[in-house]
Amino acid sequence: NAGVTQTPKFQVLKTGQSMTLQCAQDMNHEYMSWYRQDPGMGLRLIHYSVGAGITDQGEVPNGYNVSRSTTEDFPLRLLSAAPSQTSVYFCASSYGGRPLVGEQYFGPGTRLTVT
Amino acid sequence: GQQVMQIPQYQHVQEGEDFTTYCNSSTTLSNIQWYKQRPGGHPVFLIQLVKSGEVKKQKRLTFQFGEAKKNSSLHITATQTTDVGTYFCAGPRETSGSRLTFGEGTQLTVNP
């Protein structure tokens, strides 16, 4: 099993550009989520999904969209990049999510810089 | 909203010394999870505690979940250089189990 994969590893965007961060898992996990990690602020939940066709907002959803058309994939779209979105983005997946979210398996991360 | 706070933010120890990080939530948690992130890496799951007052051990690591399910601790006995990294606690709110909130983490450095 590849686990959780993320592409790209690194990305530089100009302000106003849009892009999609890809996330895929091959463990048949129902629950998937996106976090951003900024220095000294831990991991903040952007969006999550408890199953195909179901998504919900986390703590910091503004400026990001997600969709979950399949169990395996959970892409994160930046609509119009801003310097405040410079961060490391982690995708994670786990069994369950309803009613309790369990052990999270994290991808290797995408380091995004917006100039 | 729910807040999960960790202290200390940084801890520097000499190899062989003990280390403890504390996690406190503003709301009751259905479970508490602990993760370790090495520098430049991604968070890796360590353990999950579910029951009030639960204590679990993994070799030199001891994890506790408070009686009120609002706090937790991770204690490392006789630290080694391999323990270096940032330790995070995380918990879903009891009323909304699908949203996981992470603490800010405790960054541990170990001097050999």
- The mean-pLDDT minimum among A27-41, B5-19, B43-57 falls in A27-41
Q: What is the mean pLDDT of residues B3-9?
A: 93
Interface of A with B in 84-103 (CB under 8 A): 90, 92, 97-103
Tell me the torsion sign for CA atoms A94, B100, B48, B10.
Answer: positive
Chain B: closest CA distance from residue A101 (Å): 5
Q: Chain B: which residues have CB within 8 Å of chain A?
A: 1, 6, 9, 30-31, 33, 35, 41-45, 48, 88, 90, 92, 97-105
User: Is pLDDT above 70 for B94?
Assistant: no
**In the A/B pair of chains, how many CB contacts fall below 8 A?**
67
User: Is pLDDT above 80 for A1?
Assistant: no
Work out the number of other CB atoms within 10 angstroms of the CB of residue B12: 12
What length is written for chain B?
Answer: 112
Name the DSSP letter for residue B59: T
Which is it for strands A110-114 and B19-25: parallel, antiparallel or unpaired? Answer: unpaired
Q: Which of B42, B88, B104 sits opposite A40 (nearest CB)?
A: B104
Q: Regarding predicted confidence, which is higher, B64 or B4?
A: B64
Q: What is the mean pLDDT of residues A21-29?
A: 96
Q: Which of B42, B45, B105 sits opposite A42 (nearest CB)?
A: B105
Q: What is the mean pLDDT of residues B34-43?
A: 96
Provide CB contacts within 8 A for B74, sequence distance 6+.
Answer: B20, B21, B23, B34, B46, B61, B62, B63, B87, B89
Q: Regarding predicted confidence, which is higher, A40 or B8?
A: B8
Contact yes or no for A101 and B101 at CB 8 A: no
Q: What is the pLDDT of residue A2?
A: 84
Chain B: closest CA distance from residue A73 (Å): 18
Q: What is the mean pLDDT of residues A11-30?
A: 97
Q: What is the pLDDT of residue A101?
A: 77
At A66-92, the pLDDT tens digits run 999 999 999 999 999 999 999 999 999
Chain B contact for A44, CB < 8 A?
A: yes
User: Is pLDDT above 80 for A96?
Assistant: no
Q: What is the pLDDT of residue A100?
A: 66
User: Is pLDDT above 90 for A42?
Assistant: no
Residue B37 pLDDT grade (very low, low, confident, very high; cuts 50, 70, 90): very high
When scoring B98, B101, B106 by the number of chain A Cβ atoms within 10 A, the one with the most, hence best to mutate, is B98
Provide CB contacts within 8 A for A62, sequence distance 6+.
Answer: none
Residue B93 pLDDT grade (very low, low, confident, very high; cuts 50, 70, 90): low
> Residue B9 and residue B25: Cα distance in Å, rounded?
16
